[in-house]
Amino acid sequence: MPSQAYQCRLGPLVQSFPTAPLPHPRASGYRGCMTPTLADCRAWDAEDALAFTRGRFRLPESVIYLDGNSLGALPIATPGRLADLVEREWGQGLISSWNDAEWMALPARVGARIAHLIGAHADEVIAADSTSVNLYKLAAAAVSLRPDRRVIMSEPGNFPTDLYVLQGLCAALDLELRVLPAEAIAGALTNEVALLVLTHVHYKSGLILDMAALTAAAQARGALALWDLSHSAGALPVDLNGCNADFAVGCGYKYFNGGPGAPGYMMAARRHHAAMGQPLTGWIGHAAPFAFGDNYTPADGVTRLLTGTPAVLGLAALEEGLKTFEGVSMQQLREKAIRQGDLFMALARDAMGGAFELASPTDADARGSQISLRHPHGYAMVQALIEAGVVGDFRAPDVARFGFTPLYLSYADVFEAGRRLKIVMDEERWRAPRFAQRRAVT
């Protein structure tokens, strides 16, 4: 049976954690409970209602993969689907497959699967392009709906591409990008603000922002709200329509398991469909692409958010990634992720003592599906751990990040990750000079 002590939830290592810039949280004050044992973990695994999804993935033996928040694992069905697509649909069907294999339907079909996981209607979501490109399109669409307003608001320390894209858009349209700490935003919204752009779960800390409250605050001042779901969709229940969100974007290669460079997606609430325009007015977003007219007429609905030819291989892989969620309750998934995160936090504390600072909220309800630890040698630590078969990642300047993906991670896996972390720390393996060599992708 799971130890009773664990039921009391871990006490706070950090009292509060503003999103950005990352503060140095106080690592004292832990009033912890007993750390769960391997027997506890096995008992949880034995009664895990999501255990069946592990068989939907192919993972290397002995690797504990704590980086599905960055690149999801390979679904077992993906290689076969891609091989069939390449050999039969492309190799044999050639160009006829645009019709016969319904390649043109992929953006909407994949979008409908995503809609189901983010609290949107099927006709509000479409898959295409990268998150960066999609953000540009939707942010431009949003500000065009508020032509008398000149400000886009976001937070410092947001994922860099979000800020860079907004900087580029503001330069192109002569708008102002105003960045304020998330906790200051509600009080700083004025009637100059056209659009609020925020990331639902912070990529470094894992802190969850209150989508409903911030959306309502923006809309109360006449602004629109656009959410980046890259670290929340597929990790926790997201309810865009329940929060009355206007627009959203997100990645296909993280929790959705779509593979490296998988297409992203765009969500636009139905109420904006008729009026919204977007700047990358390519032929696939045209009302009649095969009429080959000279002048642009937007397609209906979210189809107008498309630009060029669908990336068929990437979309097919993303579709397989999304199928791994079939029959999965997002609530159950969330509960498992929370317990795994709490478990890892306790194990990290035991493995590292005071040698790290926690960069994620201790309150699991305020945290996405990741635990971030700050350590002055975080990069080397992550590399040494990878060599020991525990894959996490590193975000400069000092954050070691570990993601929890309940579809293919057991409690015993998390326990084993903690055991290996302890070995790496006890033996100070991270001090080996080879682990200090920075590679291009961290």
Ligand X SMILES: Cc1ncc(COP(=O)(O)O)c(C=O)c1O
Structure tokens at 318: 């993303």
- For helices 131-144 and 160-173, give the axis angle rounded to 10 degrees: 40
Instruction: Please indicate whether residue 137 is annotated as part of the active site.
Output: no
Cis omega (within 30 of 0) on the bond before 21?
A: yes
Q: What are phi and psi of 167, to 5 degrees?
A: -60, -45
Dihedral sign for Cα 385, 390, 396, 397, please. negative
Instruction: Please indicate whether residue 52 is annotated as part of the active site.
Output: no
Based on CB atoms, which residue is closest to ligand X, 264 or 341? 264
* Active-site residue, from 17, 57, 65, 159: 159
What residue has token string 């209607």? 121
For binding to ligand X (CB under 6 A), which residues are involved?
130-132, 159, 161-162, 199, 203, 228, 230-231, 251, 264
* β-strand partners of 403: 370
Instruction: Please indicate whether residue 323 is annotated as part of the active site.
Output: no
CB of 18 to ligand X, least distance (A): 18
Instruction: Please indicate whether residue 408 is annotated as part of the active site.
Output: no
* Active-site residue, from 162, 228, 342, 398: 228
* Active-site residue, from 137, 254, 304, 420: 254
- Longest Cα–Cα distance in the chain: 70
Based on CB atoms, which residue is closest to ligand X, 359 or 421? 359
Based on CB atoms, which residue is closest to ligand X, 162 or 416? 162
* Active-site residue, from 401, 402, 413, 435: 401
Based on CB atoms, which residue is closest to ligand X, 230 or 324? 230
Closest by CA to 13, choosing from 437, 268, 357, 367, is 357
Task: Specify the 3-state DSSP secondary structure of 126.
Answer: strand
Kindly report the length of the chain: 442
Instruction: Please indicate whether residue 159 is annotated as part of the active site.
Output: yes
Nearest-Å Rg of the Cα atoms of the chain is 22
Based on CB atoms, which residue is closest to ligand X, 247 or 411? 247
Query: In whole angstroms, how far apart are CA 192 and each of 152, 177, 197, 217, 271?
Result: 9, 11, 15, 14, 22
The catalytic residue positions are 159, 228, 253-254, 401
